[in-house]
Amino acid sequence: MSKMCRLLLTLFAVALTAAPQHVDFPILKEEVLRERLQLATPKNAERFKRLKELFAKSGCGDASMHEQKVSGSKEPNIICGIDAPGGHPKTIIVGAHFDAVGGDGVIDNWSGAVLLPALYEFTAKAQRRHAFEFIGFAAEEKGLLGSKSYVHSIPKAERGEIAAVIILDSLGLTPTKCWVHGSTKDLVIAANRLAASMKLDFQEVDVEQVGTTDSQPFLEAHIPVLCLHSVTPETWKVINGSRDVWSAVSWKDYYDSHKLVSALLRYFDETLP
């Protein structure tokens, strides 16, 4: 694990009348993130194994990690949780599917899954208000099986205790995008505001013409969710095919996405109820 870099930025709270805040957040050194992204492999069993190992190296041990069986998948969901130190009743979830179809699955979706262990480590070491769960979803490519299993396992009475879900899918082709129709409006507005404060390129690009992703089960369950990706009409043919390899990555765009997601966790933790 590399030494953490820290950045300082001005953020605006979700409420339009809120005063600016100074928030710092950690990011991985570029060479460390590059090494992790290059661990992509087309074999789903090996992808699960490598993600689990990265979680363990990031401090998610047996007490914090558990596997959730997913019907129709050889691999389970992998979940690493962090309790709220003050007993805050609500949870923020960050999820990304780790399975792949085509090429080495670097963009879709090792790019999202490989961020989860670092985000877990950063959050566990930081002061925080909410509880957190970091989830590697299985079998997204088979019909969102992992995320559907996870949402189904949440009792309806407890779904209101989820403050926000951030889904990461297919980052690194272009600057960060948001699937608006697959997200909750207030979270889209907040992410737009944050990206603008960081001077990062952030656009709203819907992907219904391509397919769907793990935000859909949360949206259907009326759980607040934000879906981040990098797909455009010009690049969508890269995913799920032989072109999904290391050379497809736009490194600056991917690293900027890492910065934005890291900042979003701190932002949501400080501003959401």
Is the pLDDT score of 18 beyond 50? no
Tell me, yes or no, whether 6 lies in a domain. no
Question: Within a domain: residue 97?
Answer: yes
In a domain, 9, yes or no: no
**pLDDT tens sequence across 204-215:** 998 877 778 999
Whole-model pTM? 0.92
Q: Which domain holds residue 104?
A: 23-271
The 10s digit of each residue's pLDDT in 77-91 is: 999 999 998 877 899
Q: Does any domain span residue 140? A: yes
The answer to whether residue 5 scores a pLDDT higher than 70 is no
Report cis status (omega within 30 of 0) of the bond before 109: yes
Question: Over 50: is that where the pLDDT of 58 sits?
Answer: yes
Note the pLDDT of residue 21: 55
In the chain, what's the furthest Cα-to-Cα distance?
A: 49
For residue 19, pLDDT over 80 is answered with no
Pull the structure tokens for residue 37: 């992204």
Is residue 1 assigned to a domain? no
Q: What is the pLDDT of residue 89?
A: 84
Is residue 67 exposed (0-12), middle (13-18) or buried (19+ Cβ within 10 Å)?
Answer: middle
d(CA 123, CA 26): 9
* Residue 13 reports pLDDT greater than 50: no
Has residue 10 been placed in a domain? no
Does some domain include residue 171?
yes
Can you say whether residue 117 is alpha, beta or left, with left for phi > 0 and alpha for psi between -120 and 50 degrees?
A: alpha
Structural domains in the chain (count): 1
- Report the Cα 117 to chain-centroid distance in Å: 10
Which domain CATH number covers 110? 3.40.630.10
Question: Could you give the strand order of the β-sheet that contains 203-204, starting from the edge strand earlier in sequence?
Answer: 65-68, 77-82, 131-137, 91-97, 162-168, 225-229, 177-178, 203-204
Asked whether residue 126 is domain-assigned, the answer is yes
pLDDT at 221: 97
